[in-house]
Amino acid sequence: MQVGALHPIFAIGTLAIAVLTAATLAYFSPVAAPKRYGSLDGLRGVLAVFVMIHHASIWREHAMTGEWALPPSRFYSHLGRDSVALFFMVTAFLFGSKLLETRPGALDWTRMYVSRALRLMPLYALFVFLLVFVALASTNFVLRESPLRFNLNVLHWLAFTVFDMPSVNRVAVTAIGGQAWSLPYEWCFYLALPLMAVIVGRRDQSRGLVLASVIAAGAAAIWITNRNGWPNTVMFLGGWLAAVLMRSAQAQRAAARWWSSVIALSLLAYATRTSLSLDMRSAIVLSMAFLVIAGGNTLFGVLTSAPLRVLGEISYSMYLLHGLGLYFAFTTIGSATVARLTPIQHWLVVFAATPLIIIACRFTYRTIEAPAMAAVDAATARARSLFGRRPVYVASAFRRTSGYRLR
């Protein structure tokens, strides 16, 4: 029996290899114990692998047609679409919970924005550097466009693709960096947080910060409208809903039941049968599944297992850099050869590349991401010294006069 190139068995095989690789890394270099939202860390790891599988499924068609488009498979298309939607929900849940749970006067906005910058920017800078290097190397380092156009295109990528994802030196790099399209939505969410804090009843941020957030939210709304991106933005509401509902201990107990695991898995499976566009039904199904996991459900312990904690730890590196790994894997054997590969041969290339991608991402996490996050406190202090001693949050009069300082 001949198996098609987009049979689900290949996705299962790639995921199994990713988990085995992560288990090996966890054995030789233990990962941190699960934190408060340990199930979400494991979820992020699985989602990053799913996005890689989604892009791996596109490569064969890309080699034959030169086009980078959704694969002709509902299942593989959903692996990408649903994973990004759930990533948005994770972001909204974590920061929504922070806004709802942090006591008045204790939310340090300066530190939060410094931490977001250090969490996203250093690795992203490496990503853009490698993307530009590959584009230049593929043209033997000969500039094929004007220096001005080349620099402008690089700036587009450095700006988190807010404006565009152009070619670099007339080399299409979508196959390498197309996944960066979701990052501007994350930044829009972060910039709108002070306004969201006002909406949920917080009054511990300065008027200037709220005004800046209102302006940023307005600009974001225009940007999202121009990109027809409101269906993506709606997915953040699922995370907000979970942050509100899962403050209840009763809801958390219900979410932790074994039958809730069955419900969540069933909903995630059903999501692959919904429309490829993020319509209302898709949003409801994914939000309900996420609600269970956000409540602490580990899907029978899988999401807090050591291998998935490793994948969760490196999920940002995996999300950003897997395109480079697949690019090197497929271009090494040549586009003409890739187009002639049988389905099994195509996925054998992916199987071989998967451990190397995961190992490389563990390295970038430990050498770039982790040190950057460890520098948040020092960078926050430096930011305050540069922009004035007063932080951007407003503490109560009692705390100001008593000398109490928020950490």
- Domain residue extents for the chain: 8-401
> What tokens does 33 get?
């114990």
Q: Among residues 123, 98, 31, 74, which one has the least CA distance to residue 276?
A: 74
- Residue 271 phi, psi dihedral angles, 5° rounding: -60, -30
Q: Which ranges in 102-182 belong to alpha helices (H)?
A: 109-137, 147-158, 174-177
- Residues 92 and 241: their CA atoms lie apart, in Å, by 9
What is the Cα Rg of the chain in Å?
22
Q: Which residues pair with 393 in a beta bridge?
A: 205
Q: What's the pLDDT score for residue 337?
A: 85
> Which residue reads 């966890």 in tokens?
26
Strand positions, DSSP E, 18-150: none
DSSP code at position 390: S
d(CA 155, CA 41): 32
Q: Is 168 helix (H, G, I), strand (E, B) or coil?
A: strand
What is the pLDDT, as a whole number, of residue 398? 32
Task: Give dist(CA 283, CA 151) in Å, integer.
Answer: 39
pTM of the model: 0.92
Question: What are the pLDDT digits (tens) for 198-242?
Answer: 888 777 778 888 999 999 999 999 999 999 999 999 999 999 999
Which pLDDT score is estimated for 2?
A: 57
Read off the pLDDT of residues 283-303 as tens digits, 9 standing for 90 and up. Answer: 999 999 999 999 999 999 999
CA dist 369 and 127 (Å) reads 12
Residues with pLDDT less than 70, the chain: 1-2, 388-407
Compute CA distances 185 → 90, 116, 189, 224, whole Å: 13, 14, 6, 8
Residue 130: CB atoms within 10 A of its CB come to 17
DSSP 31: P
Rounded CA separation 290/40 (Å) = 9
Whether 321 and 360 have beta carbons less than 8 Å apart is answered as yes
Residue 386: Cβ-neighbour burial (10 angstroms; 0-12, 13-18, 19+): exposed
